Chain A
């Protein structure tokens, strides 16, 4: 199914371009150049955010924060085991994936904690990474309430998941 998606998409795009008498090759090269230039423009932002993330993970500050906040999670009706997943998801996709793996191993994939960890990780997004990409590409220096709103929306999603998965 997914293997079919991209090839058929490419075929459709090329055929449509040909019908509209677009120089497909030239357009593709222009777009590829633009994509690569965008990537160069955002690379420094990524360097900054990934350095900060790597530091927080390596010095175990995240682990301490997770232990510290576990009672808060219990109070909110979320199993304490998912605290790591919830806190890591906005920071780093790979770290959150590892945390989900830990929960699945410890509690099993069909326990409430295991199920919830998967839902939260599937529903969440690496907010800080996305912020550095999107705001960086647009050259935004004053992001106003962007980060706050995105994190609040994420928190709502997590709480909703907690209520939905009883």
Chain B
């Protein structure tokens, strides 16, 4: 992330300087962080609400029951290090909410799972194999109904706005499988990058 961040900033500034667009760059630099703060404020309610709901699920044992059902599948999929399987309940909730397109419910569970896994590894600041694969699954997660896109297509007068459902499902499926395969190849001991 360090390299990505520096490259983005430096190339932006250099490009703005060469094209004489420095005032736009200045505005963007000053407003970007403010955008983050207002985004956080708009997310705060959802995080508090879904965080609360998740805690009820966790403390009533429903998350454990769910993770027991999906344990065989998940432990084969994610290369858990000892202790990391404690995050399985949150992982189940995160992945199922993602597929249902409830991003605001999925993220708090996903972040809780990441924290649990990081704590299991002793908070070393190094991403474990399971943490990486879980993140990759989150950035390539099949969504059963891509509602935003269907609405946008309908708004532009598509003959059949929902006809993208199957291609979306197939291409995220392929994308997720590619991600899983890559992570399998790059398990601990493999090359480091970015």
Q: Residues on A close to B: CB < 8 A?
A: 2, 5, 9-10, 13-14, 16-17, 19-20, 22, 24, 27-36, 38-40, 42-43, 46-61, 64, 97, 100-101, 104-105, 108-110, 114-115, 118-123, 125-128, 130-135, 137-150, 152-154, 156-158, 160-161, 164-165
Contacts and interface: CB of A to CB of B under 8 A. Distances in A.
Contacts of A50: 32-33, 35-36, 39
17 contacts: A20-B61, A28-B56, A32-B52, A38-B111, A39-B40, A39-B47, A51-B32, A52-B8, A52-B9, A53-B8, A58-B21, A104-B153, A109-B159, A123-B168, A127-B139, A131-B1, A142-B192
Given A52-B5, A59-B28, 17 more contacts: A2-B147, A22-B60, A27-B52, A32-B49, A47-B32, A48-B5, A49-B36, A52-B9, A104-B152, A134-B134, A137-B114, A138-B117, A144-B186, A153-B140, A156-B179, A157-B172, A161-B167
Contacts of A164: 167, 170-171
Q: Which of A19, A135, A158 has the most CB of B within 10 A?
A: A135
Contacts of A47: 32-33, 36-37
A88 to B, nearest CB: 13
B35 A145 contact: no
A127 B179 CA distance: 13
A57 B16 CA distance: 10
A93 B157 CA distance: 22
Contacts of A34: 51, 55, 112
What's the interface size class on B, roughly? 35 or more
Q: Which of B33, B112, B186 has the most CB of A within 10 A?
A: B33
Nearest to A104: B156
Given A13-B62, A125-B141, A55 B8 contact: yes
Main secondary structure of the interface of B (DSSP, over half): helix
Contacts, number: 330
B70 interface: no
A56 B12 contact: yes
B56 A27 contact: yes
B12 A13 contact: no
Contacts of B1: 131-132, 135, 143, 147
B125 A139 contact: yes
A154 B39 contact: no
Contacts of B135: 130-131, 134-135, 146, 150
Nearest to B119: A138
Contacts of B27: 58
B173 to A, nearest CB: 8
Contacts of B75: none
A160 B171 CA distance: 6
Contact of A138 (B29, B115, B140): B115
B89 to A, nearest CB: 13
